[in-house]
Structure 1
Amino acid sequence: MRKNRRVVMGFKDFKIEVNKKNILHNYEYLKRLRNKEIIAVVKANAYGHGIKNIVSLLSEHGCKYFAVARECEAEKILELKLKNVNILILETIEDLNFLKQNKNVEMVINSFKDLLFLLESDISTEQLHLKLDFGFGRNGVVESDFSKLKKLILEKNLKFKGICTHVFAADYEDMLIVEKKFNNILSELDKERFDIIHMQNSAGVISIEGAGCTHIRCGTILFGLQEIGYYDPNIKRAFKLIGKILDIKDLNDLKYIGYEKKEKITLTENKKIAKIRLGYGDGFSKRGEGIMSIINNKKFEIVHISMDSSFILVDESVKEGDFIEIFYDLEDSIKYLKVPHYEFLSCINERIKREII
């Protein structure tokens, strides 16, 4: 009987299942929505979905542009040895030889000072995207440097691979202001100097037209993770964090639950403790203590999270080997953890397998 039980249990570790059909649905839907090509933003391990799996999937489906934040993320894509794929690094990198050695790798210019340094370092502007900052305060040439920027571009007759900005997800009116300012400066600089023009992030894709742009930058929305206040019912969620119940113990037999004394944990009418192989060593933060999981279509509270295991208060209906899902309800998870979904999903590290289904 025990031997058969082990066969039924299957995997004991957790995994993130990524729904291939939903990813491709979102990709095609967003392309049709704005009639533009997509720059797929796959930074932070594709927001927890697995950068190599996602890039392989989308490149097979015709996606030619991928954006990352770091050089190490670009290296992971290069390891795939894909043909006709360009990689845009959104942050400034220190090793400029990396650009010179990889002609399909491009970088965003994040300040006027960076532009001057890149020109002095003999980096081809065909590998550079000029970014304009209209008050976002993160990256880009700031408005006070626009006159110097315009003068330099006209004097040297510079042409770039691309030009871009970033709209604010928090305020729709600010998005419209940024769009207008971006188009004005684009006219002053002459849009013919740029092969690629992009400004819409995930919230901006469904909020503003992006007139004059050639591409849209899709990150979280591509995976079905939507900003609060910017919701499109046609977008489908792609991930599922699932595992199986590893062990069940009677609460009356225990003095501790993990590292906590039983008395320190707020208990319910449920009298069983289920153990799962998922903990903060996997990027499942202790802040998740108190979050609800789903087992057999019922909600059960996670009461303790240790490095490699977590513990759930369950009832008699839950059995060893039952499936459990974490973050089933994204809105509830966001409200409880007080952080956006892309933060806690990106924290799930590579000890957890990603599987395209």
Structure 2
Amino acid sequence: MHGHSQTFPVSPPRAWAEVNLSHLRQNYAVSREKGDIMAVLKAGAYGHGIANIASALEQLPAAEAPVFLGVASVIEARRLAEAGIKTRIYLLGPTFPSEREEIVARRWTPCISSLAEARDFNRLVRENNAEPLPVHITVDTGMGRGGFLPDALLEKIGELEDFEHLYFEGIGSHLPSADEDEEFTRTQFEVFEVLLDKLDYDRFKFRHLANSAGLLGYQSASTNLYRPGLMLYGISPLPQFQDKLTPVLTLKSRVSLVRELPAGHGISYGRQTILEKDTLVATVGIGYGDGYPREISGNGASVFIRGKRCPLLGRVTMDQIMIDVSELPDCESGDEVELFGENILVSEVAERAGTISWAVLTGITPRVTRIYL
């Protein structure tokens, strides 16, 4: 038998995430009702897979496709470039000095938060003998994370525009609490609009402030580019708009074992759950090692099996969870389990875990296979 390599059967994944690209396109169409889009794809497109999501959006008709893809880091930008993505790439945060040479060489669009940053980019473009680099100015209207304070920008704009190797094509700011504090958010819009008025709107080709919550819940006369993130993936940060969107990702696993356990039996680490009655218990092949949050333990969570919500029992372990399937006497090994998706929103899971949808989605680990539909 020498020389013959044996082929082994390949099992399907234990835990997988189904990513529905037609739902992505539907949500994107909702976001485009306001105007041009910078699709926010940071953190692996919020756990959905950056290259596949970018490709699905880039394939839209030219008049509809995003103007920019927003990423958080050079590593993410490089991943898009290596995947052959041609859409312009925008770096959403301040850059490290060590990253700027690559940014200039690849013609990505950085945002500028200080004179020092602008000076450094200007120098690198000059040394590269390159065309002026398009950049956007970031304004801090209340986030406290980066950017020029509005008054400081009014003072410095002349100095910025003296950098002849930079083209200031855009200006943006960020909303810290558009999903929580309506009054402060309205003030931010006003501050941004007053600033644009003083600077002259037409100085900037792109003017952007709204994230998903800002896009769904607020109007602005002066902005013309929108930066949806979470809503592209079908989750609304403002619950009243959830019915306009469809979740893109469904996290699934399967039942590995179904057993009848007697009253008084403990379930999982710490034995926080002691069965009060004889219970049909299913073991499911997913845990916090896959990104299903451990913090949800004991908080009334359920999963979806055979069209029914079934309660989580005991603590989430690294690789497995236990479920009360007493209401599903036919439940058997191999049954599909939905952890969250269209039937149980990730926002519900996040709330029960004391966290936010963004953290749950971006916390889905690499051992969960993404399957694109």
TM range (shorter): 0.7 to 0.9
Give 1:164 deviation, angstroms.
0.6
Partner secondary structure for residue 22 of structure 1:
helix
Answer whether contact 1:133 1:141 (CA < 8 A) is retained. yes
Partner secondary structure for residue 187 of structure 1:
helix
**Which residue does the alignment assign to 1:4?**
none
Identify if the C-alpha distance between structure 1 residues 154 and 323 changes in structure 2 by more than 3 Å, giving closer, same or farther. closer
CA deviation map 1:265-305 (0-9, x unaligned): 24354623322221222222311223211112222232232
- Decide which moves more: 280-289 or 110-119: 110-119
**Which residue does the alignment assign to 1:3?**
none
Give 1:336 deviation, angstroms.
1.2
**Which residue does the alignment assign to 1:129?**
136
- Residue 322 of structure 1 pairs with residue 321 of structure 2: no
**Which residue does the alignment assign to 1:15?**
16
Give 1:255 deviation, angstroms.
7.3
2:147 to 140, 147, 167: 140
CA deviation map 1:196-217 (0-9, x unaligned): 2211110111222232322111
**Which residue does the alignment assign to 2:5?**
none
Query: Gaps (5+ residues) in structure 2?
Result: 1-8
One-letter amino acid of the structure 2 residue matched with residue 23 of structure 1: L
Answer whether contact 1:206 1:230 (CA < 8 A) is retained. no
Answer whether contact 2:213 2:238 (CA < 8 A) is retained. no
Answer whether contact 1:207 1:230 (CA < 8 A) is retained. no
**Which residue does the alignment assign to 2:95?**
93
Map residues 133-172 of structure 1 onto 2, 5 A cutoff: 133-153=140-160, 159-167=167-175, 168-169=177-178, 170-172=180-182
The TM-score, its normalising length taken from structure 2, stands at 0.83
Query: Gaps (5+ residues) in structure 1?
Result: 1-6
Answer whether contact 1:112 1:141 (CA < 8 A) is retained. no
The CA RMSD measured in Å over matched residues stands at 2.7
Answer whether contact 1:202 1:219 (CA < 8 A) is retained. yes
**Which residue does the alignment assign to 1:211?**
221
Map residues 222-237 of structure 1 onto 2, 5 A cutoff: 222-228=232-238, 231=241, 233-237=243-247
1:72 to 51, 71, 75: 75
Identify if the C-alpha distance between structure 1 residues 232 and 264 changes in structure 2 by more than 3 Å, giving closer, same or farther. closer
Distance 2:111 2:170 in 1: 9
CA deviation map 1:130-158 (0-9, x unaligned): 01111221221123522432342455577
Partner secondary structure for residue 205 of structure 2:
strand
Query: What count of residue pairs does the alignment treat as equivalent?
Result: 343
Identify if the C-alpha distance between structure 1 residues 37 and 147 changes in structure 2 by more than 3 Å, giving closer, same or farther. closer
Map residues 227-306 of structure 1 onto 2, 5 A cutoff: 227-228=237-238, 231=241, 233-252=243-262, 257=267, 260=269, 263-269=271-277, 271-290=279-298, 291-302=301-312, 303-306=314-317
One-letter amino acid of the structure 2 residue matched with residue 348 of structure 1: I
Answer whether contact 2:54 2:85 (CA < 8 A) is retained. no
One-letter amino acid of the structure 1 residue matched with residue 32 of structure 2: K
One-letter amino acid of the structure 1 residue matched with residue 55 of structure 2: S
Distance 1:175 1:125 in 2: 34
Give 1:99 deviation, angstroms.
0.9
Distance 2:255 2:242 in 1: 35
CA deviation map 1:209-255 (0-9, x unaligned): 23232211110011111114552532222221112112223324997
Answer whether contact 1:203 1:230 (CA < 8 A) is retained. no
Answer whether contact 1:172 1:207 (CA < 8 A) is retained. no
- Residue 339 of structure 1 pairs with residue 355 of structure 2: yes
Partner secondary structure for residue 231 of structure 1:
helix
Distance 2:279 2:239 in 1: 40
Identify if the C-alpha distance between structure 1 residues 133 and 125 changes in structure 2 by more than 3 Å, giving closer, same or farther. farther
**Comparing both chains, which one has the higher relative contact order based on Cα–Cα distances under 8 Å and sequence gaps of 6 or more?**
1
- Decide which moves more: 229-238 or 169-178: 229-238
Give 1:331 deviation, angstroms.
4.6
Distance 2:305 2:102 in 1: 48
One-letter amino acid of the structure 2 residue matched with residue 97 of structure 1: E
1:202 to 182, 202, 212: 212
One-letter amino acid of the structure 1 residue matched with residue 290 of structure 2: D
CA deviation map 1:72-101 (0-9, x unaligned): 111211121123x11111122221111122
CA deviation map 1:1-23 (0-9, x unaligned): xxxxxx9xx83512111222221
- Decide which moves more: 225-234 or 91-100: 225-234
Partner secondary structure for residue 317 of structure 1:
coil
One-letter amino acid of the structure 1 residue matched with residue 193 of structure 2: N
**Which residue does the alignment assign to 1:221?**
231
Give 1:335 deviation, angstroms.
2.9
Give 1:337 deviation, angstroms.
1.2
Distance 1:319 1:75 in 2: 45
Identity of aligned residues (%): 25
Answer whether contact 2:16 2:371 (CA < 8 A) is retained. yes
**Which residue does the alignment assign to 1:310?**
321
One-letter amino acid of the structure 1 residue matched with residue 227 of structure 2: R
Distance 2:160 2:114 in 1: 14
2:364 to 348, 353, 357: 348
Answer whether contact 1:202 1:220 (CA < 8 A) is retained. yes
Distance 1:282 1:80 in 2: 25
Answer whether contact 2:122 2:163 (CA < 8 A) is retained. no
Distance 2:345 2:235 in 1: 12
Distance 1:273 1:111 in 2: 58
